[in-house]
């Protein structure tokens, strides 16, 4: 398949420390694998706080967007957000994320396939487990909410990180992996998923 083909899209996924402690590695990988995505990189590691802060701030808009998303979610439920200032909210979230994401090993992965970023986000589910769709990983396997994590002054525990856009994915893959850690190979099933002629099956 030539470079730039849709089947070459890649996304960064990390099973967070709570996902590993909940022994959900196999369950989570199964969800992405069975869609037809191909794992092209994987490693287990303990991240530093500095690495986590850089990861979340690779996108300069993350602080504003995440703060605004939190405020909107509180208001949608008829609740008062902890602050009206998105940046004040994300300063706290970031500090709590450093504690959360360095509390134990995490599993960093790169998945490749058509619409990899979008389909991984779909199967992973929305950020807040309380409102994540039933059937999504976050919807099916976690109990948590912004109001509970704010009461306890901690990050929302939602098992997984998944890149939010193709640009974010590219930055995150470079942040977590060296180019030589990404394996280029063919999966037999790609013949069925992507081959234009779908031939060579019948004997
Ligand atoms: P996502 O992981 O779905 O892309 P964000 O990029 O908005 O979500 O936020 C990054 C992570 O920060 C979330 O996965 C979650 O662990 C944590 N988080 C986000 N918003 C809040 C919040 N309002 N309160 C506590 N933790 C939060
Ligand atoms: Mg995000």
Asked whether residue 92 is domain-assigned, the answer is: no
Q: Cα–Cα distances in Å, from 152 out to 69, 97, 175?
A: 19, 13, 30
Beta strands in 123-163 (DSSP E): 160-162
pLDDT for 1 equals 66
> 173 and 12 in contact (C-beta within 8 Å)?
yes
Task: Determine how many CB atoms are found less than 10 A away from the CB of residue 38.
Answer: 20
pLDDT score at 104: 98
pLDDT of residue 200: 84
Query: Would you say residue 74 lies in a domain?
Result: no
Q: The pTM is what? A: 0.94
Residue with the smallest CA separation from ligand 1 atom 5 is 66
**Low-confidence stretches of the chain (pLDDT beneath 50):** none
- Domain of 146, in residue numbers: 6-46+104-190
Is 161 a known active-site residue?
yes
**Structural domain contains residue 25:** yes
Q: Which of 5, 51, 161, 175 is catalytic?
A: 161
* Residue minimizing CA distance to atom 13 of ligand 1: 127
CA distance 173 to 109: 9
In a domain, 140, yes or no: yes
Name beta bridge partners: 15.
Answer: 107, 160
78 falls within a domain: no
Tally of structural domains, the chain: 1
Q: What is the pLDDT of residue 35?
A: 96
């Amino acid at each position: 398949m030539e470079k730039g083909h849709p089947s070459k899209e890649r996304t960064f996924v990390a099973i967070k420390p709570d996902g590993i402690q909940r022994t959900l590695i196999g369950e989570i990988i199964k969800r992405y694998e069975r869609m037809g995505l191909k794992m092209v990189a994987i490693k287990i590691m303990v991240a530093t706080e500095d690495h986590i802060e850089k990861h979340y701030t690779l996108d300069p808009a993350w602080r504003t967007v995440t703060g605004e998303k939190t405020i909107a979610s509180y208001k949608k439920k008829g609740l008062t957000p902890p602050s009206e200032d998105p940046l004040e909210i994300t300063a706290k979230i970031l500090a709590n994320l450093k504690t959360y994401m360095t509390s134990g090993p995490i599993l960093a992965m790169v998945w490749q396939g058509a619409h990899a970023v979008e389909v991984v986000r779909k199967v992973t589910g929305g950020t807040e487990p309380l409102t994540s769709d039933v059937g999504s990983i976050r919807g099916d396997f976690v109990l948590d909410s912004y109001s509970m994590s704010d009461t306890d002054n901690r990050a929302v525990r939602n098992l997984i990180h998944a890149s939010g856009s193709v640009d974010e994915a590219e930055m995150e893959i470079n942040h977590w992996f060296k180019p030589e850690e990404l394996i280029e190979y063919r999966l037999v099933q790609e013949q069925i998923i992507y081959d234009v002629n779908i031939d060579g099956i019948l004997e």
